[in-house]
């Protein structure tokens, strides 16, 4: 969420930012919010003037009573009472206007970083760098669900009966591999100096609107019927919410946290849910990294975070590339974002396995996460990045470590997390 003072001082910059994100339908909102803000400030000024009159009148009543001028005092009391009624009406108007201003401010997109490429959608994202040599095997690589089924590790049919499409049972070596990858990712981040956290899987509505836009909530989050609770779509939601309405000291920053959770997503939109595979599902596990830091440090942290994901995937012999998200592909709260994509030998192309985002002070402003400063408090910056998110990461792992005989090579870094096995064999 932008600072209304910034919008007042830079309305054309806000409009240009909206144009860069190809959200021209929001352009009229700038004039609307400025008009509402002007009216709101007028109400505040009027209320301040009336309170001054009321205070002066109260003193006048005391003086008149001391002089035993009771009729004059009673007349002044009537005036004060009328002022009180007017102040009550102004208080209601103030609350109404503040809510109207906030409603618009919540949908105005954050100002993107000047380095973000301009483009309409993800088809115009820009490749930054490749890591590792993509392999084109001489043998046919089956669809990932078939690889898992051959290992005796996937049951989609039973999951459809219990839960519907978008759910799955993982079993045996595949389930162990899934857990092993998450444990490896946890320890990898702990070794980078991050604190391990297991967060709540549900958050209240004010936290949900604090960490994402209304459109994202509608398309992603499951609401608990009859309660002010939502299932998280990523642990970033409850991890950032952990700091709601707090004032951080410089000495305690940055907060570097790595969190494990189940995640739940409606996956509403054009992509839909797969019937056969586990690439796009309603429930999955994820190891996340979250940083709360000083504003001037956030871009440095941004580059560190996605570099950690690249390092982890390369340690498991998976080629990856980084992709800069263009302006039209950035969610409204994001300042800058880079996707990490893994190589798919079967498809002969890269696919997304993680996303790193710098949100500037947008989430902190919505949630009231401040830093205590020498000359007043100011908002922190927040960042998040995927470490790994099985089962999607499993697809990359299985395809890149599949051998011609159907066995799966287990890289040395992961063997201690799967019982010391060097390979997984079909059942």
Cα–Cα distance for residue pair 289/386, rounded to 1 Å: 6
338 contacts 356 by C-beta, under 8 angstroms: yes
Task: Evaluate whether 356 touches 310 at the Cβ level (below 8 Å).
Answer: no
Nearest to 290 by CA among 221, 381, 183, 379: 381
Q: What is the largest CA-CA distance in the chain?
A: 107
**Active site (catalytic) residues:** 265, 280, 352, 355, 392
DSSP for 263-309, please give it: EE----SSS---SS-SSS-SEEEEEEEEEEE-GGGHHHHHHHHHHHH
In degrees and rounded to multiples of 5, residue 254 shows phi and psi of -80, 155
Is the separation of the CB atoms in 14 and 110 below 8 Å? Answer: no
Distances (CA, A) of 207 to 45, 173, 366: 31, 37, 9
Cite the DSSP H helix spans in 4-153. Answer: 4-9, 11-20, 27-66, 70-105, 144-150
- Around 289, how many Cα atoms within 13 Å sit in the side-chain half-sphere? 32
């Amino acid at each position: 969420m932008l600072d209304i003072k910034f919008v007042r001082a830079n309305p054309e910059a806000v409009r240009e930012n909206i144009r860069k994100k190809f959200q021209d339908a929001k352009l009229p909102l700038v004039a609307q919010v400025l008009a509402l803000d002007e009216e709101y400030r007028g109400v505040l000024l009027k209320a301040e003037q009336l309170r001054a009159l009321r205070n002066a009148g109260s003193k006048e009543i005391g003086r008149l009573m001391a002089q035993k001028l009771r009729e004059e005092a009673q007349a002044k009391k009537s005036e004060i009472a009328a002022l009180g009624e007017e102040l009550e009406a102004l208080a209601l108007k103030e609350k109404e206007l503040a809510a109207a201003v906030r409603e618009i401010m919540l949908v105005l997109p954050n100002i993107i970083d000047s380095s973000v490429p301009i483009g309409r959608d993800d088809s115009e994202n820009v490749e930054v760098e490749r890591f590792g040599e993509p392999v084109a095997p001489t043998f046919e690589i089956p669809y990932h669900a078939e690889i898992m089924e051959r290992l005796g590790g996937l049951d989609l049919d039973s999951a459809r009966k219990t839960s519907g499409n978008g759910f799955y049972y993982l079993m045996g070596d595949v389930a162990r591999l899934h857990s092993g990858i998450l444990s490896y990712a946890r320890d990898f981040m702990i070794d980078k100096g991050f604190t391990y956290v297991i967060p709540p899987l549900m958050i209240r509505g004010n936290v949900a609107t604090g960490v994402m836009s209304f459109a994202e909530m509608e398309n992603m989050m499951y609401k608990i019927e009859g309660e002010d609770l939502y299932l998280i779509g990523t642990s970033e939601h409850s991890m950032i919410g952990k700091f709601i309405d707090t004032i951080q000291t410089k000495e305690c920053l940055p907060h570097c946290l790595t969190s494990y959770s189940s995640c739940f997503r409606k996956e509403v939109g054009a992509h839909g849910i797969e019937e056969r595979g586990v690439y796009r599902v309603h429930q999955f596990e994820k190891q996340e990294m979250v940083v709360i830091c000083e504003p001037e440090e956030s871009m440095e942290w941004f580059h560190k975070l996605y570099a950690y994901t690249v390092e982890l995937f390369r340690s498991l012999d998976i080629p990856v590339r980084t992709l800069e998200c263009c302006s039209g592909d950035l969610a409204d709260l994001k300042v800058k974002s880079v996707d990490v994509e893994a190589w798919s030998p079967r498809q002969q192309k890269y696919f997304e396995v993680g996303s790193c985002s710098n949100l500037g002070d947008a989430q902190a402003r919505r949630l009231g996460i401040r830093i205590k400063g020498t000359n007043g408090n100011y908002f922190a910056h927040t960042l998040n990045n995927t470490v790994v998110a099985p089962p999607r990461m499993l697809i990359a792992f299985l395809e890149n470590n599949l051998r011609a005989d159907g066995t799966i090579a287990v890289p040395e870094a992961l063997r201690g997390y799967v019982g010391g096995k060097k390979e997984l064999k079909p059942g």
